[in-house]
Amino acid sequence: MQIEGSGALVAGGASGLGEATVRRLHARGAQVVIADLNEERGQNLVDELGDGASFVRADVTDADTVQQAVEAAAGLPGGLRISVCCAGIGWAERVAGRRGAHQLQPFETVIRVNLIGTFNVLRLAAAAMVSHEPTSTQERGVCINTASIAAFDGQIGQISYSASKGGIVGMTLPAARDLAVAGVRVCTIAPGTFDTPLLGALPEENRQALAAAIPFPSRLGVPDEFAALALHIVENEMLNGETIRLDGALRMAPK
């Protein structure tokens, strides 16, 4: 899929991995709709990037606001051709312990935001792409989801997060197969430990320990490396139905 001139939607695009992806897409000539709950950060990013960027306040768990963001991207001159979902949250709690069983509500919330939210963006963006005219190679669009290596190497206390990200991995291939007839590709990126606002709140000692655990390069990933892979997926039409680990060969220990 050609990036220049295409319309793109980045859910969770106001910070972290999503912001880096917005910046890369915009620099390559895409017209980008940033969908996020954080209006201030999203609008500041639009003001910085200028023409070719716009913001829609959207909650990935709310179909109406996601549909509004999709329609904004679909209405661009290039149509909605690229969708990237980076929205997500975390929660740390063991299945059971001295305080009793894992709370149900946080588990449901993480599943709702990470898994159902991703599906919400995927299904609505794909529906818009299907209505577009295909390219010369019969392609109509590309959808990229964000999982985590926790989908495979979930640590102690990550039951809800791992389940949500494992669900994203699990729906990648069937989604690609569902949409193949329409020429819409679906891939998922499973990042390891990246230097995002979430990790930025940790003490430096903890951050260094996380970096040292990565075989090579022994450092935290930077959001622009996620964005670079996302753009490669967009341009490489043989990548479909695939989940790609982006983790420096890290396999997480139990804790």
Enzyme catalytic residues? 161
* Cβ contact 239:185 at 8 Å: yes
**Nearest-CA neighbor of 84 among 111, 121, 129?**
121
**Nearest-CA neighbor of 244 among 185, 196, 197?**
185
User: Which residue is listed with tokens 């019969």?
Assistant: 138
What is the sign of the dihedral through the CA atoms of 160, 109, 194 and 188?
positive
User: Which residue is listed with tokens 């106001």?
Assistant: 14
* Cβ contact 9:73 at 8 Å: yes
- Quote the CA–CA distance of 194 and 199 in Å, as a whole number: 7
Q: Helix/strand/coil (H, E, C) string of 91-134?
A: CCECCEECCEECCHHHHHHHHHHHHHHHHHHHHHHHHHHHCCCC
* Cβ contact 149:245 at 8 Å: yes
* Cβ contact 35:56 at 8 Å: yes
Neighbours of 111 (CB within 10 A): 16
